[in-house]
Amino acid sequence: MEYRHVGKTGLMVSELCLGTMQFGWTADETTSFEVLTAAYESGINFLDTADIYSSWVEGNPGGVAEMIIGRWLNKGIAARDQVVIATKVRGRMGEGPNDEGLSRGHILAAAEASLRRMDTDYIDLYQVHWPDESTPIDETLSALDDLVRRGDVRYIGCSNFPSWRLMQALWTSDRRNLVRFSSLQPHYNLLHRGEYERELEDVCQTYGLGVLPYSPLARGFLTGKYRRDKAPEPGSRGASSESLKRYMSDDRSWHVLEVLEKLAVEREKTVSQMALSWLLSRHSVTSPIIGPRTVMQLEDNLGAIGLRLDPIELAEIESVSDWRKI
Ligand SMILES: NC(=O)c1ccc[n+]([C@@H]2O[C@H](COP(=O)([O-])OP(=O)(O)OC[C@H]3O[C@@H](n4cnc5c(N)ncnc54)[C@H](OP(=O)(O)O)[C@@H]3O)[C@@H](O)[C@H]2O)c1
């Protein structure tokens, strides 16, 4: 496992980050613990979560993934300072008008709640989950700055920001001498390249932001487990996820999958390993966030470590997935 700096910071993270959106949703607590332990033992030191995971499950108030991480940390398998925890704020966590968004009040309350749920004194990387158009960015950054100054948070990042908003935030931090975003978490995979590569990639490179792509396997499509002539199993992510449905209804996705399947057979690797390896080969990427639901899926994903695609393989993958051709 390689360790890389998050952008221009001194913080070192493993080249794969373990996402925890499945915890308390499709992975129960026992399985989540197993995945956390196996990931840590493989050298992954980087966890991504969010306060809202998995608030969409009926009867679940949110915060469950963070609580599972907290209870796992308390088992003592990993010392707190050996794990880098990234969590997020922005989503709705209560019924009140101030229980969501990026206002000063909600950020300060949400950070306190995340610390409590994870039973920890600090959050390594606190990320804004997506923009809040109704709150001035100055207010958001000044609340995040306070959290860093009082030691509750070490670095800040953002997710799902378009390039103009990211630039606006970076300039605001500069102008007002506030802490700046050190990372971006974009939706980025072989089926969803344009949004990041069109402008965000240049911004991240120019301003030295770490890049943590989420949904690197297109929510499971890039494992090859969904087939064109077969409806996804009821209850699976394929049957419920809107973005998976979009991928499955696009001919281009199936062409990308065909090429990956051919190359995977030639290399005796899995489709998911080829897809992850492509992301790892992108010069601006720091650490893709994988989302395995089981230890078996994790082990498969880990097979991408050390797999280097050769120039001919890369050219073939680039050509079939190039967003400029659409
Ligand atoms: N910032 C944001 O807005 C945002 C949004 C989404 C995700 N995220 C973060 O990114 C992480 C990863 O997202 P993601 O879950 O969409 O990632 P992904 O890697 O694209 O998809 C993961 C899913 O692929 C399937 N899978 C993985 N390995 C497999 C294997 N070897 N064989 C068969 N199926 C396999 C599993 O689906 P099944 O469960 O159906 O088996 C798993 O849940 C999340 O946990 C979260 O931390 C952030």
Residue type, 33: F
pLDDT of residue 239: 82
- How many Cα neighbours within 13 Å face the side chain of 126? 28
Residue 34 within any structural domain of the chain = yes
Picking from 218, 233, 226, 324, the residue whose alpha carbon sits closest to that of residue 278 is: 218
Q: What is the pLDDT of residues 115-162, one digit of tens each?
A: 999 999 999 999 999 999 999 999 999 999 999 999 999 999 999 999
Ligand 1 nearest atom to the CA of residue 20, by list position = 45
pLDDT of residue 122: 98
Picking from 258, 251, 271, the residue whose alpha carbon sits closest to that of residue 316 is: 258
CB 301 less than 6 A from any atom of ligand 1: yes
Lowest-confidence pick of 117-121, 131-135, 217-221, 236-240: 236-240
- Contact between 235 and 241 under an 8 Å Cβ cutoff? The reply is no
**Whether residue 241 has pLDDT greater than 90:** no
- Overall average pLDDT of the 232-261 stretch: 88
Q: How far is CA 163 from CA 1, 64, 88, 174, 248, in A?
A: 31, 31, 19, 17, 28
- Of 13, 23, 161, 217, the one to substitute when testing ligand 1's pocket (max ligand atoms within 8 A of C-beta) is 217
Distance CA 114, CA 123 (A): 8
pLDDT of residue 316: 96
75 C-alpha vs ligand 1 centroid, how far in Å?
25
**Whether residue 242 has pLDDT greater than 90:** no
**Whether residue 30 has pLDDT greater than 80:** yes
Ligand 1 nearest atom to the CA of residue 22, by list position = 45
207 catalytic residue (yes or no)? no
Percentage above 70 pLDDT, the chain: 100
Closest C-alpha to ligand 1, atom 47: 19
Ligand 1 nearest atom to the CA of residue 218, by list position = 20
CB 244 less than 6 A from any atom of ligand 1: no
Q: Chain-centre distance of CA 102, in angstroms? A: 19
Judged by DSSP in three states, 195 sits in helix
Residue 24 within any structural domain of the chain = yes
Gap between the terminal Cα atoms of the chain: 36
CB 217 less than 6 A from any atom of ligand 1: yes
Q: What is the pLDDT of residues 276-307, one digit of tens each?
A: 999 999 999 999 999 999 999 999 999 999 99
Lowest-confidence pick of 66-75, 225-234, 245-254, 307-316: 225-234
- Contact between 180 and 217 under an 8 Å Cβ cutoff? The reply is no
Lowest-confidence pick of 32-36, 208-212, 216-220, 227-231: 227-231
**Whether residue 39 has pLDDT greater than 80:** yes
Distance CA 122, CA 3 (A): 21
- DSSP assignment of 262-325 equals HHHHHHT--HHHHHHHHHHHSTT-S--EE--SSHHHHHHHHTTTT----HHHHHHHHHHH-GGG
Q: What is the pLDDT of residues 160-173, one digit of tens each?
A: 999 999 999 999 99
Cis peptide before 54 (omega within 30 of 0): yes
Closest C-alpha to ligand 1, atom 11: 19
- Overall average pLDDT of the 227-253 stretch: 86
CB 48 less than 6 A from any atom of ligand 1: yes
Residue type, 224: G
pLDDT of residue 230: 86
Distance CA 221, CA 106 (A): 35
- DSSP assignment of 10-36 equals S-EEESSEEE-TTBTTTB-HHHHHHHH
Residue 99 within any structural domain of the chain = yes
Ligand 1 nearest atom to the CA of residue 189, by list position = 20
Domain count, the chain: 1
59: left (phi over 0), alpha (psi -120 to 50) or beta: left
Residue 38 within any structural domain of the chain = yes
Quote the mean pLDDT of the chain.
Answer: 96
- Contact between 8 and 208 under an 8 Å Cβ cutoff? The reply is yes
Instruction: Tell me the CATH number at 171.
Output: 3.20.20.100
Residue 100 within any structural domain of the chain = yes
Q: Which of 40, 53, 214, 247 is catalytic?
A: 53
Residue 306 within any structural domain of the chain = no
Residue type, 220: G
Distance CA 256, CA 268 (A): 18
CB 25 less than 6 A from any atom of ligand 1: no
Looking only at the bridges linking them, the beta strands covering 46-48 and 17-19 are parallel
201 C-alpha vs ligand 1 centroid, how far in Å?
22
CB-count burial class (<10 Å; 0-12, 13-18, 19+) for 72: buried
What is the domain range of residue 110? 3-185
pLDDT of residue 326: 63
Confidence of residue 215 (pLDDT cuts 50, 70, 90): very high
Residue 232 within any structural domain of the chain = no
Residue 97 within any structural domain of the chain = yes
CB 173 less than 6 A from any atom of ligand 1: no
DSSP H or E stretch at residue 7? none
